[in-house]
A and B are shown apart, each in its own frame.
Chain A
C-alpha cells in the first residue's frame, strides 16, 4: 500500500515537472495570441533556439545553465522582436491562413538553420546538480526538478507582476482586451506587439533551457511536438488566458503521466487531445476563455 502511494506520488511529481515546461511554453504562446491574435505554429522553434543558445554558452563557458537561461531569454526577446517586426507585422490582420503558412515556413527555416549551425546530432547538457537528490516525504527526487519548478514559479510570478504592476504590462492587458480601444487611449500597440512577442519567445527559451537541464537530449526538431501540445493547452485553458495556460499546462502534464501509468505509454500523447475534445464539447471557450476569443 505504502509502495503504491509512493509510485502514485512519484508520477504526480513527474506530471508537475512536465507541466512546468508546458506552462512556460503555453503562457508565452498565449501572451502572443492574447495581444496580437496571431497563430504561431513556430513557437516550438523558439524553445529549440533557446535550448541551443543555453547549451552553446554552457559548452563554451561551463557557466551554470540556470544562469545562462537569463541570457538565453534576453537573446530570444531580441530574436522574437525581429521575427515579429519582419514576419508577422506585415501580415497582421490579413487572415489566419497567411499566419499559419508563414509560421509553418518559419518552422522549416529555423530547423534547417539550427541543423546547419549546430548539426542535427542529438546533444545533451549535464546539469551541475545532476546526481543530487533530496528527500520530500516518501519521495527521493533530483534537485534539478525542484529547481525547474521553482524557476517556473518565479518566472510566472514575475510575468504576473509585470502585467499587473507596470505601465507596459497594463498596456499589454489593455491591448489584449480591446486593441482598438487601447489605440484610442494612446497605447502604441505596435510597440506592445513587439514586447509581447519578445516576452513570449523568452518564455519559450526558459522552457527550452529547463527542458535540456533536466537531462533530455535535444536536436533541431525538438520543438515540433511541444508546440502542438502548447496549442492544445491554450485551447484547453482558453485562448488568451494566462491562468488558463497555467492550469491547462499542469493538467496536461498530469494527464499525460497518469495515462502513461494507467493505460500505457502509447496513450501519453493521445490523452491530452481526448481531454481537449471533452473540454471543448462541454465548454467551447476552454476552461478560462471568454466568448469572442
Chain B
C-alpha cells in the first residue's frame, strides 16, 4: 500500500514537472539589457505541430538578432532579445492563461505569435487592457484587427487574412481551374464551375467561407457553390460531410481547414469516398507534416501559399528562405512551415519597432509599428516592404498558388508554383484520374 501511494505521488510529481517544463530559449545574461518578447504558440493540443514550429522559428530569429549584437536603443546601449513562450494549449482558456501570465507575471514588452483566430481573439481583451503591442503571426481572421468590441489599436496583423487569401484562391479557381475543367469536359466556356466548400466552424473557417461567397458575388464570377459543409475544430472523421459533397457533384472542393484536418479530409475524400476532384487548401497547410500525412492522396491538390518548406519563387526571396530553412533544419532537424516563417519575421518586426522607438515603452513601440517601413525579411511582401496598413494594421503579402505532384521515391507529394504567371514554374493540370462534377 505504502509503495503504491509513493508510486502515485512520484508519477503525479513527474507529470507536474513534465507539464510545467519551459522550453529552452536563448537566455541573455542578467546584466544585459533585454527586450522581453512573449511568444504565444500552441505547444500542446491539436495545433501543437504548427505551434511548435512557430516557437522554434522565433528562437532562430532571436538567436540571429542576438548574434548580431542585439537591438540598438536610443541611449546607445544594445538590448538582447529574451523570448518567453506561452502555451495556449490550442484552446481559448489556455490562450487566456498564457497571455495573462506573459503580461502580468513575466511582464513582456511585446507579444508575437497567436494561432487560431478563435483562440487568439479570446485573449485580445487582456492585450487591450494592458496596452501590449502584439504582432499576430498565425491567426488569419480579419476580426483580429477589425473587431470593434475592444480596443485593437495595439494589435498588428502579420499574416494574410481569410478575406485576402479567400479572394485570391477564388479568383484562381475562376481564372485557371474553371477553364481547365470546361476544356476537359468539352463544355462551353460559360459553363459555371461547381464548387463545394468544407470549412471549420470557427472565425477562421467562416471567414474563408464568407470571403469565397463575397468574391463570387462582388466579382460576378461564374462559380456555383453547390455544397457548403461545416465541421467542429479538431474533428477527425469527415466522411459524412464528404459524402454529402460528393452527392452534389462538385468540380472542385475548397477546404478551410488546419493541416491536421486538411490531410485527413483529402485522404478520406479520395480513398474512402472516391471523390476524385481538385482540392484547394488554405496557406496554413503548406507544412511538411501535411505532405507526410497526405502521401499519394495529395496528388493534384492545390495550396495557396506564401512560404513552403519545399519550394519558393526564384530570386532574393528564395535565397533568404533557403537560409532560414537551413538554420532551422540545422537546429531542429526539420523544416519550418509558413506560420513559423511569419513568426520568424514577427520577431524581426518586434526588434525593428523597438529599435525605431529607441525604447521598450509600449506606446512608443506601438507608434513605431504604425510607422514601420522595413525591408522584407524572408517572405515576398507587396513592394518588398514590411509595413502595416493604416486602417486595420495588416501586412500585405505577395501570394501564389502551388499544385502538388506525387514523388513515388519519397512517397509524398511536392509543390510547384502554377500561378500567377510571373512566378509560376509549371502549368496547372487536371490529373488523369480527375472526375468533373457534371457535364451539364
Contact = CB atoms under 8 A, between A and B. Distances in A.
B260 interface: yes
Contact of B229 (A140, A225, A265): A265
Contacts of A215: 264, 267-268, 271-272
Interface string A86-98: 1101100000000
B289 A121 contact: yes
B384 interface: no
A122 B44 CA distance: 11
A87 B8 contact: yes
A122 B289 contact: yes
A152 interface: no
B408 interface: no
B236 interface: yes
Nearest to B287: A122
A261 interface: yes
Interface string B3-45: 0110110011011001100000000000000000000000011
Q: Is the interface of A mostly helix, strand, loop or mixed?
A: helix
Contacts of B410: none
Interface residues of A, number: 50
B263 A217 contact: yes
A214 to B, nearest CB: 8
Contacts of A140: 274
Given A215-B268, A265-B201, A122 B232 contact: no
B432 to A, nearest CB: 16
B48 A219 contact: yes
Contacts of A109: 11-12, 14-15
Contacts of A4: 247
B320 interface: no
B72 interface: no
A235 B14 CA distance: 33
A120 to B, nearest CB: 5
B15 A264 contact: no
A121 B259 CA distance: 11
5 contacts: A7-B244, A87-B8, A113-B18, A222-B236, A261-B244
Interface of A: 3-4, 6-7, 10-11, 14, 17-18, 85-87, 89-90, 102, 105, 108-109, 112-113, 115-116, 120-124, 126, 130-131, 133, 140-142, 145, 215-217, 219, 221-222, 225, 257, 260-261, 264-266, 268-269
Interface of B: 1, 4-5, 7-8, 11-12, 14-15, 18-19, 44-46, 48-49, 52, 201, 229-232, 234-237, 239-241, 243-244, 247, 259-260, 263-264, 267-268, 271-272, 274, 289, 292-293, 295
